């Protein structure tokens, strides 16, 4: 998973990371397993598990070099340089520090502690110290805790790099940078050892002086540092005399962590036996059971099952520990025996309310087990979202023959159409040759279902809710696509209920047909503002449709003023030359030199103290122009930087970011352009990528996951997603109101 400063794990193999504004993420899903199924669209691998706000509580005067001659705006201290997150894996600090993580925060001269609490197959992370306390903080503003490690003695070692300036020079005003030494303190540094008072130091022997028996004994230690190193040394030595000693530890050691390390050391030495692994499936600790399941993947799973794998794994389908069930869902895909397919189906149904458990189980699907699993899912809930997921994978894996009994279970109730729509959406590029994949029998059954949907859509005797559900499945049958479009367009009539009009429009826009834009543009004069926005977004989603939209604007069928500043920027930067050329003719070329405009708007600074500033108008401007991408005091979206964390910048810095957003763009906020094989285009910020899919954050705050198999083009722009030219909609007074509102929001919270 993506992280800014490496990853760190707990005793049981759960991995965590962080980035500057967030002290902890959990990497929930295992990419190695997900990669087995290229058709799977899993949920995000990385999960934000922090509970509560991002405030920290320093005691030193905060040195800020982000300003010029104006004082900082006084924002409340929040994580802005979180790094080095690590799990405390020792017992020296006492039981209250079990499952505790530490994070460095060098800007605010402190080390922050949080407590992990299991929640399903993930965790919640809560601040450990109560109130305004922190685990470690310094009164020295040059103190910069940057690295954290637990030593063999169980103490926490803090590497303090000691610097006056901690900001990257890129974020320091150029004129100010000339007056300071950004390397000041580079010859200094401190290492703190933190341990409970009045606690004797733990005795420690040099591990390289121990014989093999001594090393095995050293595995039985409260120190995670020591257990890790001993395990590596035993694997490096590969002394087979250690095997019986390790088997004894794996079976009878009183500590679960010792049993786990013994098991994994045997695995690393290729000395693990099938019999021992099967016995450890019944270990009293879930962490050992979990890894025993994983270790079974090293052995041949026979159909005859002479060692009775099935009966030993079956109780784990309902294991009390979610992590055990997650690993079982992964590993069952590695066992080719027919009986494992039945267990996989049961495991999938057991975890169907947890999207991570579902993803793990679906990653285990292959041609040999899919039929059995789908049969079990159908028996329990044939019209569920889970059934739609498995049915889509069946088509993508060219196993559509398993669907024949599925189609026969559908009726005309709303759940039928919702399930079918979900199925069509999940098919992705497989829709292009769907009817060929389905075969004659399935095609006939699906044709009958779609004809029923048309009849419901036409009928004014049916409820609006049922008609909208039914019409959403139209447009997927090539031989009747023209008929479906005509039916849907007939509902774009002021006499139709708004709900019917909107659904009809959205459905038509989902049909990749080149005749559709002109037909929809003809309806423009009769569309409400809501429908016009939906239509514009849809026409901008495909290159050829965008060209037809711009042609309509040039022909005065649609007013150029309806294209927002953000949309204009996307068009002027479009990858397709014909689109850029048309856009430049309509909107003018994109200005590259923003200096004159920035110079004019810096006059806003002199207006900030005026009594005439209108905070209510500033708030409205924030909601209208900023909130769709930025978050401020728990309002807005997370697409761009959280403005709450940026308000220690000067008014000049804020104005520069608004007027010239491309002057300095962090890599994580670069705009990506995506074109799919179906011709759809997407612009957004890359949030997640796996071997099988990409997830981008869109300007409206939503996310879109796209399978790699459907990518035609994927490229980064060197420009920010934030549009250039916002000042066209904001005069100096309005800009002053907006800046004043941003400042006021922070000062209000601090006063509280």
Higher pLDDT, 336 or 548: 548
39 lies in the same domain as 162: yes
Q: What is the dihedral of CA 179, 183, 188, 194, to 10 degrees?
A: 100
Residue 690 is assigned to a structural domain of this protein:
yes
In the predicted model, is pLDDT for residue 61 greater than 50?
yes
Token pair listed for 615: 């905070």
Mean pLDDT of 142-152: 96
The residue count of the chain comes to: 752
The whole model's pTM is what?
0.84
Mean pLDDT of 94-109: 97
Integer Cα distance of 680 and 712 in angstroms: 10
603 lies in the same domain as 730: yes
564 lies in the same domain as 615: no
Higher pLDDT, 603 or 404: 404
Integer Cα distance of 327 and 288 in angstroms: 11
Token pair listed for 415: 């759940």
Residue 662 is assigned to a structural domain of this protein:
yes
What single DSSP character describes residue 510?
T
What 5-8 contacts at long range (C-beta under 8 Å, 24+ apart), as own/partner pairs, is: 5/83, 5/84, 5/85, 8/85, 8/86, 8/87
Band of pLDDT at residue 27, cut at 50, 70 and 90: very high
Residue 415 is assigned to a structural domain of this protein:
yes
Integer Cα distance of 58 and 75 in angstroms: 13
Structural domain tally of the chain? Answer: 4
Higher pLDDT, 679 or 539: 539
Higher pLDDT, 280 or 563: 280
- The per-residue pLDDT for 591 is 64
What residues contact residue 594 under an 8 Å CB cut-off, 6+ apart?
659, 660, 663, 724
In the predicted model, is pLDDT for residue 750 greater than 50?
no
Say what percent of the chain tops pLDDT 70: 94
Say what percent of the chain tops pLDDT 90: 64
447 lies in the same domain as 535: no
Q: Pick the range with the lowest mean pLDDT from 361-375, 392-406, 584-598.
A: 584-598
51 lies in the same domain as 141: yes
Integer Cα distance of 47 and 44 in angstroms: 7
- The per-residue pLDDT for 37 is 95
Going from the C-alpha of 346 to that of each of 339, 357, 373, the distances in angstroms are 11, 12, 8
- What digits encode the pLDDT tens for the residues 286-313? 999 999 999 999 999 888 888 899 999 9
Residue 239 is assigned to a structural domain of this protein:
no
- What digits encode the pLDDT tens for the residues 223-273? 999 999 999 999 999 999 999 999 999 999 999 999 999 999 999 999 999
Q: Report residue 256: phi and psi, to 5°.
A: -65, -35
433 lies in the same domain as 453: yes
Mean pLDDT of 173-201: 90
The whole-angstrom distance between residue 54's C-alpha and the CA centroid of its chain comes to 19
- What digits encode the pLDDT tens for the residues 665-697? 666 777 788 888 777 888 888 888 777 788 888
What single DSSP character describes residue 175?
H
Strand ranges (E), 21-91: 22-27, 46-48, 83-87
For the CA atoms of the chain, what is the radius of gyration? 30
In the predicted model, is pLDDT for residue 589 greater than 70?
yes
649 lies in the same domain as 544: no
177 lies in the same domain as 98: yes
76 lies in the same domain as 50: yes
56 lies in the same domain as 22: yes
429 lies in the same domain as 555: no
Domain that holds residue 39: 8-194
In the predicted model, is pLDDT for residue 478 greater than 90?
yes
In the predicted model, is pLDDT for residue 69 greater than 50?
no
Integer Cα distance of 106 and 79 in angstroms: 10
Q: Pick the range with the lowest mean pLDDT from 47-61, 474-488, 716-730.
A: 716-730
Integer Cα distance of 306 and 115 in angstroms: 45
Residue 527 is assigned to a structural domain of this protein:
yes
Mean pLDDT over all residues of the chain? Answer: 89
Band of pLDDT at residue 746, cut at 50, 70 and 90: low
Higher pLDDT, 361 or 172: 361
Residue 337 is assigned to a structural domain of this protein:
no
655 lies in the same domain as 557: no
State the pairing for strand pair 136-137/22-27. Answer: unpaired
């Amino acid at each position: 998973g993506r992280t800014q400063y490496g990853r760190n794990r707990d005793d049981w193999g759960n991995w965590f990371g962080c980035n500057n504004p967030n002290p902890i993420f959990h990497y929930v899903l295992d990419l190695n397993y997900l990669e087995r199924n290229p058709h799977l669209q899993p949920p995000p691998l990385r999960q934000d598990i922090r509970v509560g706000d991002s405030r920290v509580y320093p005691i030193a005067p905060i040195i800020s070099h982000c300003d010029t001659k104006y004082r900082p705006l006084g924002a409340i201290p929040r994580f802005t340089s979180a790094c080095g997150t690590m799990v405390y894996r020792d017992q020296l600090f006492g039981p209250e520090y079990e499952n505790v993580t530490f994070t460095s925060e060098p800007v605010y001269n402190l080390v922050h502690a949080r407590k992990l609490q299991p929640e399903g197959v993930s965790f919640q992370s809560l601040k450990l110290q109560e109130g305004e306390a922190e685990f470690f903080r310094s009164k020295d503003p040059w103190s910069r805790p940057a690295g954290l490690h637990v030593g063999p003695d169980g103490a926490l070692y803090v590497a303090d790099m000691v610097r006056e300036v901690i900001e990257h020079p890129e974020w320091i005003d150029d004129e100010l940078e000339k007056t300071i030494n950004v390397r000041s303190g580079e010859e200094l540094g401190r290492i703190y050892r933190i341990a409970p008072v009045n606690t004797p130091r733990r005795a420690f022997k040099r591990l390289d002086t121990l014989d093999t028996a001594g090393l095995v004994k050293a595995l039985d230690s409260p120190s995670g540092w020591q257990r890790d190193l001993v395990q590596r040394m035993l694997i490096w030595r590969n002394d087979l005399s250690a095997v019986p000693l390790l088997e004894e530890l794996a079976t009878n050691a009183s500590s679960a962590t010792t049993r786990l390390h013994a098991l994994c050391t045997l695995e690393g030495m290729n000395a693990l036996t099938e019999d021992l692994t099967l016995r450890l499936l019944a270990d009293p600790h879930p962490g050992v059971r979990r890894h025993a399941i994983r270790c079974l993947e090293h052995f041949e799973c026979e159909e005859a099952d002479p060692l009775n794998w099935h009966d030993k794994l079956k109780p784990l389908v309902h294991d009390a520990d979610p992590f055990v069930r997650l690993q079982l869902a992964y590993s069952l895909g590695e066992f080719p025996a027919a009986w494992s397919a039945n267990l996989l189906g049961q495991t999938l149904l057991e975890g169907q309310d947890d999207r991570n458990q579902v993803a793990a189980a679906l990653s285990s699907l292959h041609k040999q087990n899919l039929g059995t699993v789908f049969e079990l899912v159908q028996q329990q809930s044939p019209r569920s979202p889970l059934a739609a997921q498995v049915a889509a994978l069946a088509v993508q894996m060219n196993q559509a023959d398993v669907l024949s009994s599925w189609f026969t279970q559908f009726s005309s109730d709303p759940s039928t159409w919702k399930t079918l729509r979900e199925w069509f959406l999940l098919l992705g590029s497989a829709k292009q040759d769907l009817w060929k994949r389905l075969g004659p029998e399935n095609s006939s059954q699906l044709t009958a279902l779609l004809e029923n949907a048309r009849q419901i859509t036409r009928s004014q005797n049916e409820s609006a809710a049922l008609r909208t559900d039914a019409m959403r499945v139209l447009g997927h049958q090539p031989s009747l696509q023209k008929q479906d479009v005509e039916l849907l367009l007939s509902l774009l009539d002021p006499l139709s209920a708004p709900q019917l009009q909107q659904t009809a429009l959205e459905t038509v826009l989902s049909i990749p047909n080149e005749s559709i834009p002109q037909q929809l543009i003809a309806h423009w004069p009769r569309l409400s503002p809501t429908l016009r926005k939906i239509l514009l977004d849809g026409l901008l989603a495909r290159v050829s449709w965008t060209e037809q939209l711009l042609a309509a604007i040039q022909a005065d069928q649609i007013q150029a003023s309806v294209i927002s500043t953000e949309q204009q920027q996307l068009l002027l930067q479009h990858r397709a030359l014909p689109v850029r050329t048309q856009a430049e003719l309509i909107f003018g070329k994109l200005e590259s030199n923003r200096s004159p405009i920035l110079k004019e708007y810096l006059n806003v600074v002199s207006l900030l103290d005026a009594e005439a500033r209108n905070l209510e108008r500033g708030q409205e401007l924030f909601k209208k122009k900023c909130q769709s991408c930025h978050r401020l005091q728990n309002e807005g979206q997370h697409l761009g930087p959280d403005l709450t964390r940026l308000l220690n910048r000067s008014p000049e810095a804020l104005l520069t970011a608004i007027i010239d957003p491309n002057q300095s763009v962090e890599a994580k906020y670069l705009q990506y352009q995506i074109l799919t094989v179906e011709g759809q285009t997407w612009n957004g910020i890359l949030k997640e990528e796996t071997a099988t899919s990409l997830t981008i954050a869109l300007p409206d705050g939503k996310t879109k996951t796209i399978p790699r198999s459907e990518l035609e083009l994927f490229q980064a722009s060197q420009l920010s997603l934030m549009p250039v030219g916002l000042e066209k909609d904001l005069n100096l007074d309005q800009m002053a109101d907006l800046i004043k509102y941003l400042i006021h929001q922070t000062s209000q919270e601090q006063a509280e």
